Structure 1
Amino acid sequence: MRDSNDIITVLGVIGTDPEAKTTPSGVPLIKFRMASTQRKFDKNSNSWVDGSTNWYTVTAFRGLAANAIQTLHKGDPVIVTGRLHLRAWDTGERQGTSVDLEADVIGLDLQWGTASYTRATRSAPLEAAQPVAAGSGEPSPADTGDAVPHEHWATPGQPAALEPTPF
């Protein structure tokens, strides 16, 4: 199977605890599995039903990884845009295809809850980004070009019908 470098956007739910790592050259990264389940309206039952689920291994690097590890949790609904990589694998006993997504952008899906934004600044190495308190007088990202978004996730009470599909 050929490796693909298509840019895609996927909506889904984080299915594993995000894992923080560092490359041998010291670059921070985050890795997690994400499930995207197709929902269809069934006219016979007059209700929404789950279709098939696609699983992706999502990886992000540098500032995005540093902010994401402070923000994301298993079960969070997310939107990820990045480069799709399809890889065939063979262990001798089993064969399959890995579907990997190297994230350029990760956001929380606000259809299911609210988020609070805290700007992070880069001082020295990228992995040392620290959050900046709101109203601290720090310049905006447009002024400096070096700010990195940072979000905190909150889940308000929602009717059961609006909750993300568990897996």
Structure 2
Amino acid sequence: MTVGETPVTMVGTVISDVTLKRVGENANPLATFQLRATERKYDREKGAWLDHRQFSIRVKCWRKLASAAHAALRRGDPVIVMGKLFVSEFSGADGQVRSVPEVEAWAVGPNLVLSRAAADREQRGGGAAPQAWHSPESAHESQESQEVGAPLAVA
């Protein structure tokens, strides 16, 4: 981390398509998407959860994370994003300087409270994956065989 950096963790929903482009001399991958975090409160009189304040922010993912986010994320996916908060400035068509909050992500993953996901682990060092690792297909099969709310079985 850098001195003065503002680390954040945001829980929200992907509300845009994830775009991927290559930038710079080295053509590094850059994925961007909009994230919306919605505060919810329980209303006892109505007996229901109601949406309250919302916060939307642009998320930037670089290099390996960019490619993974572009391949894995879709509009509507519940995610958790960790990164550093900063403000981008640009000049609008009227010449006025505008400021936009952004998060440069160092980690993005599914919110498992609201979705299911199987880890597709990358092999390192060329060897076989440890026995505890399962293919995404076998992980999906074991998830479907469990009841909702039941503790997860550990191999």
TM-score, structure 1 as length reference = 0.66
CA drift of 1:70 comes to 1.2
1:5 aligns with 2:32: no
Between 26-35 and 75-84, the greater mean CA deviation after superposition: 26-35
**Alignment of structure 1 residues 95-106 onto 2, 5 Å:** 96-106=98-108
Q: Deviations over 1:23-55 (max 9, x none)?
A: 122111211011111111123323211012111
1:120 to 119, 122, 133: 122
Structure 2 distance, partners of 1:62, 1:21, is 10
Q: Deviations over 1:78-126 (max 9, x none)?
A: 0000000124555237775311000011010011121111123579xxx
Identity %: 27
Structure 2 distance, partners of 1:93, 1:45, is 48
Which residues of structure 1 form unaligned runs of 5+?
124-131, 141-150, 157-167
**Matched residues, number:** 130
Q: Deviations over 1:110-156 (max 9, x none)?
A: 11121111123579xxxxxxxx9xxx81479xxxxxxxxxx89x9x9
Structure 1 distance, partners of 2:95, 2:39, is 30
Secondary structure in structure 2 of the residue aligned to 1:116:
coil
TM-score, structure 2 as length reference = 0.71
Secondary structure in structure 2 of the residue aligned to 1:70:
helix
The residue identity in structure 2 corresponding to 1:6 is T
- From the CA coordinates, give the structure whose radius of gyration is larger: 2
Q: Which runs of 4+ in 1 moved over 3 A?
A: 87-90, 93-97
1:33 equivalent in structure 2: 34
Structure 2 distance, partners of 1:99, 1:62, is 21
Which residues of structure 2 form unaligned runs of 5+?
145-155
2:81 equivalent in structure 1: 80
Would the alpha carbon gap of residues 27 and 97 (structure 1) be closer, same or farther in structure 2, given more than 3 Å must change?
same
